[in-house]
Every structure is written in C-alpha cells, then in structure tokens.
Amino acid sequence: MSFGKVDAGKGLNWLTEAIGIVFRNPGAFLVMALIVGVINLIPFLGSLAILVCGPALIGGIVHAARTEAEGGKAELGQLFQAFQQPGKIGPMLLLCLPTIVGAAILLVCGVVFGVGALVSGGLSAANGSSLGAGAIGGGVMLLALIGLIVVLAIYAFQFFAIPRVMLDGAEPFAAMRESFSACLANLGAFLVFAIVFTVLCCVAGLVLIWIPIIGWIVMAGVGTVILGAALFVAYRQVYGGAADAASTMPPPPAPAAPPPQP
C-alpha cells in the first residue's frame, strides 16, 4: 500500500483531531487511559508489559479511534482488540522490537559514556587539570543527541506500522520499513507532532507530578490514548490520501484494436 505526503502543519492537526476523537467518547477512552496508567505503575512487571505489549495496546486504541471517527462508539474492550482478534497478537508483539533494540543501544552508549567519564575524571584529577569537566559536559551533550536520534528512530519504525498491522493486516517487518520511509517522506509533519506532543506531555507532567500516584496514572494513560488516536489520524491522512488519489486517477487507455486481417 502506497503512502502520500502531507504538509508539516498536518503534524499539529494529527494531535488536535486526535484530542477531538477522544472527547467524542471520553468515558471509554478515559477508562482505557486508566488501565494503561495502572499497568505502567506496577513496579518492573508493568514496565516490561508496556515494553512488550505497548504496540498491541496502542493498536487497540487505534482500532477504537477508527470506530469513533467513522461514526460508531468506541468500547473499552477494543483496547485489547489485538489479543482477541485471531492471528493478530503475534504480529503486533513483533512491533516492540524497535523499542528493545533502541533501549539496548542507549544502554551500551550509557555504559561507554560512564566508563569514559570515570577515566577522564580520574586522569584530570591526577594531572590537576579541568579539561575533564569539559569532556564530561561534551559527552553528556553527545549522549543526549544520540538518545534523541534513537528515540525518533524508534517512533519512526512504529508510527505507521502500528495502524498498518492493526487495521490492514500488514506484515510487521515490511510495515516497520514502510513506516520509517513514510516518516522520512513526511518528516516535517512527523517532527511537528513529536515536538508539540512532547512539550504538552512535559507541561502536563510538571502539573500532575504534584498529585501522587494519580497524577502519574493520568499522565501515562491519557498520553498513550491520545498518541494512539493520533496514529490513526496520521495513518488516515497519509495512507488514506494516497488511496484516494489512486482511486481518482483515470483508467489507462484501452489498447488499440488490431487492424482487420485482409
């Protein structure tokens, strides 16, 4: 299935339209958010469950967002649609691989940076030099840049792959490659959405951090629900637009009739 290109400003529209979809049926989506938030709160096991099953849960939210956008009523059970639909959970679980690989890369970079900082600090202390502090500062900036690139790459591999596998039954590895290409083709919209969504989450986090436990549940759950709805909106615009354009193309001309035989 081919994808289209949209303007950078559509990235903001993905977010605003997703919020609109959620507010059409706040009851169902709020309970979904609470379930996801509570899972996030469980020590270790919750984080592991979100790491592995996160794409499947977000896929359920994508499914619910499509139902709501097409005039139906989203239901709580749709959060677990990937677990209920035959043959769906396996491909959806495979979509967690970019997160696992990205986390491993960040872990290795963190260990390398930590060892390098200790060695640099020890040498600087032995020589009575202040160069070690500058090297550590530069290392922190480099590590932050690597982390940003890795996180964006993870999202790029999953961004369109989740709705493609959930809604279209696409093969997961092909969907992830295609998702990365679609994000590069729509880099402006992808970055606008990522920046605005991250800023809003940070602001919400600063407010909700003062509410113990409940604040974290709300922030994690509502953020995930809005993200899932936004993935559906982005998928509909990027892939739906391409499909609409293909359907409106004029049919190829009929081949000319062969000349009559003498």
Cβ–Cβ under 8 Å, residues 237 and 159: no
pLDDT, position 252: 45
| 48-77 mean pLDDT | 94
Counts for the chain of helices (H) and strands (E), in that order: 11, 0
Helix, strand, coil proportions of the chain in percent (round to 5)? 80, 0, 20
Give the pLDDT confidence of 124-160 residue by residue, as tens digits.
555 555 555 555 666 678 888 888 999 999 999 999 9
Amino acid at 154: I
Nearest to 79 by CA among 25, 19, 28: 28
**172, HSE (Cβ side, Cα atoms, 13 Å):** 18
**pTM for the whole structure:** 0.83
Which is more confident, 37 or 125? 37
The three-point CA angle 66-27-86 to 5° equals 45
Cβ–Cβ under 8 Å, residues 40 and 47: yes
Cα distance between residue 114 and residue 185, in whole Å? 36
Cα distance between residue 188 and residue 241, in whole Å? 17
What is the overall mean pLDDT for the chain?
85
Cβ–Cβ under 8 Å, residues 193 and 11: yes
Least confident residue range of 1-5, 55-59, 240-244, 254-258: 254-258
pLDDT, position 63: 97
Give the pLDDT confidence of 195-244 residue by residue, as tens digits.
999 999 989 888 888 888 888 888 889 999 999 999 999 999 999 854 44
| Residue 114 DSSP symbol | H
